[in-house]
Amino acid sequence: MRNSVSLHKLLPVLVLVLALLVPLVVENSYGRHLFIIAFIYAIVASNWDLSLGYAGIFNFGHIAFFGIGVYGTGLAAKFLGVDPWLAMVLGGVAASIAGAVVALPVLRLKGIYVILVTFAFSQLVLQVVLSQSDVTGGTQGLVRIPTISAFGYNFLRDYRLGYYYVALALLVLSTLFLRRLVASDFGMSLRALRDNEDYALARGIPAGLQRLKVLIASAFFTGVAGGFYAVYLRVASPEVFGFSTVSLVLSMVLVGGIATIYGPIVAAVLLTLTTEGLAHFAGMNESRFMLVAALMLAILLFLPKGLASLLTKRAPRKPAAESGGTPAAAGARR
Amino acid sequence: MTLHSLNAMLVSGIVLGSFYAIMASGLSLIWTTLGIFNFAHGVFMALGAYVAWTISDAAGLDLWLGIAIAVAVAAVCAVGILTERLFVRPFYGERNMLLITTMTTLAVMMFLEKGIQLFWGPRLKQLRPVVTGDVTVLGVTISAHEAFVVCLAPVLLFGLWGFLRLTRTGRAIRAVGQDAQAARLIGINVPAMFAITFALSAGAAALTGILLGSIRLVTPGLGSEPLIKAFIIVIFGGLGSLGGTIGAAYVIGLLEAFLIVTVGMYWTPSALFLMLILTLLIRPQGLFGKAVH
């Protein structure tokens, strides 16, 4: 037991060291570009895992937070002349505000209506972006967004080395934030609400407040990731709100394993590298998405806890003990 | 506002409402029977339109469009049954069934949408109208095809209502929707009822897609915009009852026509979503809905 615990603590550090060394092996700018995009998706997917997996909120508007980060940063940097670094933070703040706004109806609704209203919310954001075409560029997208620089260093130099490390740093920050959050009392109260709402309420956990907080929290780094996406690619396109992006990121959460944080990160990197790699074969542009969809269905049917469940020993299922224990533990602490 | 523009608004609102009503009734049927929301409903529309197009146009056979429609609807019914069997039934009775089936139907949507694009290619297609010519109602001229849809919708919906009320199978479907366990106890074949429900709903989707395919261009995403409208409709109407959904479909159709005239094409979707979120803040169970679990 003791051995496996220390391994669990060591593994993320090992992976981080490997990630820091990747640019030594991957020297061309396209390979690094894939990793940068993968890290961005990893932030989006793992933050979605916080609200969907840990808090159990049927939030299907998470991609809207990403889109708001993309456009918030893009517009602030391009038209208000805000420094792109600061604009990225603004993108995160804008996404968090959106998280608070979407929480309003979500707190009052249950089940399917939460799914529908969050979906509708992301469509509302998309429609606003499309209708304000003189500012946002409409379907053409927002182009020529100013990019980041530091001490006169141009990030496009050295085959995107700078961008690679900024993306990695954001992912590490976001992951540390998420891990701390889910391990805290707050994180436990979220799981308690998810697993046994009546009992959690009876123990005095304020359901509405916790859900409001978690939506705001999960939106922040998603928005920052969107902001980085905007300043890195220097374009913002309304496609980021589409059903395809939603399904792709959702598949990352599922393939990695829901309520694991690390799972979606690993899945995001693997799926991005493979799907982008497949795009090079002729005629694979559509079928790679079909593969992702098929993979998603296979995971849901045969490995409902995601690939992460392959790592842990195939212990007999004990959902009853788990869901019974968590709320009690959280309740006792409060 | 002149009388003529008021009439124009009314007519186009009813045309929209008729499309929405056929489509949303399929969604509502699945919801009331199985308690899930089928996100692949929109892509079933596109699939129906493509199959009908292949039979009626591409094959070059001078068949009556009706045969094409019948085959296309039947094919999509089969896809619906397959979807239910493979990706919905394994999760029936699970605690997170709603969430899981949302994800599986989303995956089916993505798979079929990209599959359609791969199979039929990117070229835009258009179906022939079922009826040609124009009709003038209340001094407003619309195509005969649209008038046909306006007349067809009540017939179909009334037929569906009659089927659910009066036939043995229809009553069995409603029984399963109310309490699947009890229905099984009195000898109703529950899995068969699920399959029939999915087939009916997919058939309604295919029909909407085919009818829409001669007004709009047929693309793999033909159904995504109507699906989003269907979200609004079922939230307004509440998913609980077929009647509420159909009523909401016409209300939203008229509202959309009104908004297009007053705030313009661009702002209409935003205005609809905003009204929707405000409605939910005041009445979380929808305008006509009763509180649903």
pLDDT tens for A233-245 read 888 888 787 777 8
CA distance A253 to chain B (A): 11
What mean pLDDT do residues A95-123 have? Answer: 85
Q: Which residue has the higher pLDDT, A7 or B131?
A: B131
Residues of A in contact with B111 (CB under 8 A): 289-290, 293-294, 297
Q: What pLDDT sits at residue A215? A: 93
Cβ <8 Å between B108 and A297: yes
Q: What pLDDT sits at residue A157? A: 67
Query: A41-50, A68-77, A133-142, B200-209: which range is least confident on average?
Result: A133-142
What mean pLDDT do residues B214-233 have? Answer: 84
Q: What pLDDT sits at residue A327? A: 36
Q: Are A189 and A200 in contact (CB under 8 A)?
A: yes
Q: Which of A243, A249, A281 to mutate to test the interface with B (most CBs of B within 10 A)?
A: A243
Cβ <8 Å between A300 and B100: yes
Q: What is the pLDDT of residues B70-119, one digit of tens each?
A: 778 888 888 888 888 888 888 887 777 888 888 899 889 989 988 888 88
Q: Which of A52, A109, A123 to mutate to test the interface with B (most CBs of B within 10 A)?
A: A123
* 3-state SS class at A154: strand
Q: What pLDDT sits at residue B271? A: 83
Q: Which of B88, B103, B292 to mutate to test the interface with A (most CBs of A within 10 A)?
A: B103
Q: In the structure encoding, which two tokens stand for residue B34, read together?
A: 């199985």
Cβ <8 Å between A113 and B115: no
Does the pLDDT at position B142 exceed 90? no
Q: What is the pLDDT of residues A254-273, one digit of tens each?
A: 888 887 888 889 889 988 88
Q: What pLDDT sits at residue A99? A: 92
Does the pLDDT at position A325 exceed 50? no
For residue A11, name the pLDDT band (cuts at 50, 70, 90).
confident
What mean pLDDT do residues B212-228 have? Answer: 84
For residue A162, name the pLDDT band (cuts at 50, 70, 90).
confident
For residue A1, name the pLDDT band (cuts at 50, 70, 90).
very low
* 3-state SS class at B95: coil
Does the pLDDT at position B174 exceed 80? yes
CA distance B123 to chain A (A): 15
Instruction: Please state the ipTM of this predicted complex.
Output: 0.81
Mean pLDDT estimate for chain A: 80
Exposed e or buried b per residue across A214-230, where buried means at least 16 C-beta atoms within 10 angstroms of its C-beta: bbbbbbbbbbbbbbbbb
Q: Does A317 touch chain B (CB under 8 A)?
A: no
Tell me the C-alpha distance between B97 and B279, whole Å.
27
Give the residue carrying structure tokens 């980060």.
A69
Q: Are B52 and B182 in contact (CB under 8 A)?
A: no
Does the pLDDT at position B3 exceed 80? no
What mean pLDDT do residues B12-39 have? Answer: 89
Q: What pLDDT sits at residue A311? A: 62
Q: What pLDDT sits at residue A317? A: 45
CA distance B276 to chain A (A): 8
Give the residue carrying structure tokens 């792109």.
A84
Q: What is the pLDDT of residues A195-215, one digit of tens each?
A: 888 888 888 888 888 889 999
Q: What pLDDT sits at residue A214? A: 92
What mean pLDDT do residues A166-173 have? Answer: 91
Tell me the C-alpha distance between B22 and B155, whole Å.
10
Q: What pLDDT sits at residue A55? A: 86
For residue B290, name the pLDDT band (cuts at 50, 70, 90).
low
Cβ <8 Å between B114 and A123: no
Q: What pLDDT sits at residue A322? A: 39
Q: DSSP string of A67-116?
A: HHHHHHHHHHHHHS---HHHHHHHHHHHHHHHHHHHHHHHHH--THHHHH
CA distance B232 to chain A (A): 8
Residues of A in contact with B234 (CB under 8 A): 116
Per mean pLDDT, which of A16-25, A305-314, B54-63 is the most reliable? A16-25
What mean pLDDT do residues A108-117 have? Answer: 81
